[in-house]
């Protein structure tokens, strides 16, 4: 028997020989079942991957909101919170496409905040470097 994984195209073949009293029909059924469940396993893995990505984005957004509470306006916070709530709801389900779309939507709505946080971090780093140089030259 030969199997090919659809996503990567990798193929593998096995030869199954009945042992311990299994009939050829039983072995054939076991092989067929393995193909049937392999598809479900792949689907489950893909769902877990997209849920994990959503969790990561949700955690980063939560951290960013805590860090930037003074620079986020009410309207921006409301848009971010709405996107977070929608993603949390979808994440609890099994619709991979919806979870992916809402993860992207949350990333988009938080992009301006991420830019401001990055700019602030760069300014802090530059300011800190200048202060270090001044101290060295004293």
Domain boundaries, the chain: 2-137
| Dist CA 86 CA 75 (whole Å) | 17
φ and ψ of 70, to 5 deg: -85, -15
Whether 138 has a pLDDT exceeding 60, the answer reads no
| Dist CA 122 CA 128 (whole Å) | 10
Q: With contact defined as beta carbons under 8 Å apart, do 72 and 36 qualify? A: no
Report the top-level CATH class of 2-137. mainly alpha
pLDDT tens readout for residues 104-124: 999 999 999 999 999 888 888
Q: With contact defined as beta carbons under 8 Å apart, do 96 and 48 qualify? A: no
In b/e form, how buried is each residue of 74-108, taking b as 16+ CB within 10 angstroms?
A: eebeeebeebbeebeebbeeeebebbeebbeebee
pLDDT band of 90, cuts 50, 70, 90: very high
pLDDT tens readout for residues 4-53: 777 777 777 777 665 667 788 888 888 888 888 888 888 999 999 999 99
């Amino acid at each position: 028997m030969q199997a090919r994984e659809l996503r990567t195209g990798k193929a593998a073949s096995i030869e199954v020989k009945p042992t311990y009293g299994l009939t050829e029909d039983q072995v054939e059924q076991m092989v067929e079942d393995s193909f049937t469940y392999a598809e479900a396993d792949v689907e489950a893995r893909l769902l877990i991957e997209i849920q994990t990505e959503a969790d990561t984005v949700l955690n980063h957004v939560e951290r960013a909101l805590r860090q930037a509470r003074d620079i986020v306006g009410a309207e921006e916070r409301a848009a971010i919170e709405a996107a977070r709530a929608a993603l949390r709801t979808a994440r609890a389900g099994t619709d991979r496409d919806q979870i992916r779309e809402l993860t992207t939507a949350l990333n988009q709505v938080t992009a301006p905040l991420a830019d401001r946080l990055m700019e602030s971090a760069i300014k802090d780093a530059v300011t800190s470097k200048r202060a270090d140089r001044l101290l060295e030259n004293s």
